[in-house]
Amino acid sequence: MNIYIDKKSKTPVYLQIVNQLKAQIKRGDINDGSTLPSERALSKILGVHRNTIIKVYNELKAEGFVESRQGVGYTVSLGNKDQSAKNPTKEKPKKSSSANPKRVRWTYEIKDEFLDREKTYDNLFQRYSDDSKYALSSGFSMPSVYRKSVIAEDIADIVAYEGKTQYFYSPYKGDENLRQQIVSFLSTKGIKASTGEIQVVTETNQAIDFIANLLISPGDAVILPEPVSPDTYRTLMLSNARIYTVPVDHDGMDIKALGNLMERVKPKAVFIDSSFHDPTASCITKEGREEIIQLSNRLRIPVVEVDAASELVYEGEHITPIKALDTMNNVIYIYSFSLTFAPGLSLAFIVADKEVIRSLSYIVSVRFVATDWMTQKLMAKYLEDGTYYRNIEVFRANYAEKRDLVCRYLDSLKELGIAYEKPRGGVYIWCKLPEGLDCKEFVKEAFARDLLLIPGYIFYPFKNGGRDYVRISYSFEKIEKIEEGMKVFCDMIKKTTGT
């Protein structure tokens, strides 16, 4: 048996395998009655998911090329099929299919790329709402800054307003007043934009998905930082892009490696988490940002800048987004309010060349009847009356206090092998475990003790790092629960290191 899988082919992997096995059976390369490898064995041989092999064998069974028997496995049955065709038996007609209903085998119908996914991140991330846990895993904003009672009153006022807004629809580009307020907000970051260069979306993942639909065709190269958010990687993977990665270093990104890779693979786009990168919390230097602009301009390659934390600086100078340095309009800028607004009220926006925004608005019009009207109106109000800017200061003070608390506990463990760099902003700490500790097992044990952490390996799509790291997020939990969670963390480290 000799099977070749062409990963660049548009033919699904399971059909490539089916077609080659059928051809080998017909030629006699695989004899009638031969036992085929088990599902698990063949999946290992070919380096594909077991569900893919299940689909292969079910397809071959349906066409009469193989049969399966309990205790034997899958065997070639082409000879039996041919014999029955030559000597058909006079059987009674089968009952109609309606008399013998069958369930759809969803595992076989769903595309492989949706089955072969990392579930750890989703499972841990979505458990943040369990009050019995210490949720140091989720990158959500703290709930207490925007009080529920105030939000409820403001929503009531907005709904009661007489005018066009009563119909609860927003233009496809987003609410006009919100886009006007975003223009003012961007000016505080050194970014000049008009309302026609802004597209409002729900969240960063949605923005990346729309941009991927707009720019990337199957087989196009894209460059990502590594480690990288699983959400970003999976979105681009599902667009069938060829993904290349550049290491994230102390200065936020290895710019020399990025330049060499851009020269070599000529990517369709470079995706950069520029400010307090998830998960490392590193920040690209001012010099690095200028070099990225120069590379983009010289090679005429778009840069997609993702930003959710540039407002959250606790020490040092203000951060200037890469987009603020963009004089050629080569940068697509995504900003998310996920860390600086009420959790659950999700809102983000894209800033780009007008032609890009026109095309993105068309994608939005195809995907939605209407965008999220209420959240847009609420954010427009808070930007206009200054509530958002005042609350940013509250977020900064609270996040800085929480960061310092986590760091004090980590500092107490340095002699036991814990290592990290204290970030000057953002909401993440990238923590290296003592030598010999595997993050997957450590996170599993932590969960059993009600502590939620994110294992480092899931930020490495090619499974080439992160096994000795965990990501700690201090944004969502109350300070009392962070302290309790860090006590559990310290206790685990001391026990596993024998101290």
The tens digit of pLDDT for each residue in 391-406 reads 999 999 999 999 999 9
Share of the chain above pLDDT 70, in %: 88
Domains of the chain, earliest start first = 1-85 (1.10.10.10), 120-139+390-496 (3.90.1150.10), 148-385 (3.40.640.10)
Contact by Cβ (8 Å): 152, 165: no
Q: What value does the mean pLDDT of the chain take?
A: 88
Give the pLDDT band of residue 197 (cuts 50, 70, 90).
Answer: very high
Q: Please give the pLDDT value at position 370.
A: 67
For residue 270, the model assigns a pLDDT of: 98
pLDDT confidence of residue 162: 53
> Helix %, strand %, coil % for the chain, to 5?
45, 15, 40
Q: Before 279, cis peptide (omega within 30)?
A: yes
Residue type, position 229, single letter: S
Residue 57: CB atoms within 10 A of its CB come to 24
Once rounded to an integer, what is the mean pLDDT over residues 61-78?
83
Contacts of 172 (CB under 8 A, 6+ apart): 361, 362, 364, 365, 368, 371
